[in-house]
Amino acid sequence: MPSITASVGDGATNKTHDVALIQAMLRIVKNAKGSPYLTGNYDGSYGGHTKDAIVAFQKDNSKVIQAGQQGKEKEGVVDLGGTTLATLAGALPATHKELHIIANTKTVYLEAAKADATSSANAIRADAEFEPTFKARLASLVDTMYADHKIVLWITPTGRRRTFAQQAAEVKTFAGPGESNHNFGRASDIGFKGFHWIQGDGTIQKDADWLNALEGVSAAKANALWDARDALAAKIPLYRLDFERVHLQLYDQSTFNNPRSLAKLLNTVGKAKWETGYKADFGLGGALFPVGTAKQIWAGHATVSKADLANALTVKTKKLVKDTDIKVQQITDMQTALKADFEAADKNWIKWVKVP
């Protein structure tokens, strides 16, 4: 049964979320003439229309509610645990029985199925492509979100770990292969599964994982729900990014640097010595030379110059190697070797550690 946290009505507490919930119920429940008690859209703001709707409902149900009589609720007031709320809840159609709202928000929604929450959390726990601590926290978030708000969170279609090859295929991001937190099983895009919310007119709207429909009506309302998710995530903790609401990750982005972290992993599992930039020693043990971007290296097009390779070979062999001595095949082989280090990093994604 829908519940309020404090009284709603004339002279009552009138918390925004309580008002919104009572308004939504009065918008859904119809009188004997088939008209809703509240004719406007519910909005969480208490006023004359809401008062009139409460009074009209109480009068139509006066035998049960007995508002204004001794020991009963005041006329025009819905009390916490009172008869008006119970009667109003009882009058809701079967499609709208389980209404909820989160404190300090204005969007009333339907309770999701517990089985969906369990399924989502179990899928995360069983996902071998997430780092163990991260997936434990993520599953905990799913559990907590359902326990606290009866909302199911789940991983969006593209929200799991991405391999370096999948990252390379992404065209609407600046992050190259190995530069995304998604590449190391420590980030996820986790949205709202089958979120059904009550529109202003009382009808049910099924939304997408990203709350696109709600955001289309009010960005503030959608943000309030993301905020509710993030408030729980922060306690676990899991961290959000500044500009993308759906994304959560294991570490606070301000505490580490992705290219430096990638370089460390490359040094751990690869054959060359690496620095962010990216620079590599070609596996020859000398100075480090610029070799291009992560996208270039992954594509097998690392920017290996004849001069740099000649210099590196000179140091390694202690014999002068001129640029002109370097053959095209040697460049190609080095590009392949550098890519192989990235492939090793991809294969050993679990070994990634954050570097400030």
**Rule CB under 8 A: which residues touch other proteins?**
156-158, 168-169, 171-176, 179-182, 187, 189, 191, 208-213, 215-216, 219, 222, 226, 241-247, 253-254, 256-260, 276
Q: How far is the CB of 254 from other proteins (least distance, A)?
A: 6
Closest CB to other proteins among residues 104, 173: 173
Which residue is it, tokens 């002109």? 324
* HSE of 250, CA atoms in CB hemisphere, 13 A: 20
Q: How far is the CB of 94 from other proteins (least distance, A)?
A: 29
| Per-residue buried b or exposed e for 234-270, using 16+ beta carbons within 10 Å of the residue's own CB | eeeebbbeeeebbbbbbbebeeeebbebbbbbbbebb
Closest CB to other proteins among residues 271, 279: 279
* Cis previous bond, 239, omega within 30: no
Closest CB to other proteins among residues 209, 308: 209
* The residue count for the chain: 356
C-alpha angle with apex 225: 220 to 230, nearest 5 degrees? 115
Tokens of 276: 């962010």
d(Cα 313, Cα 322) in Å, to the nearest integer?
A: 9
Q: How far is the CB of 208 from other proteins (least distance, A)?
A: 7
Q: How far is the CB of 215 from other proteins (least distance, A)?
A: 5
Closest CB to other proteins among residues 245, 264: 245
Closest CB to other proteins among residues 265, 313: 265
Closest CB to other proteins among residues 243, 320: 243
Farthest CA pair distance, the chain? 105
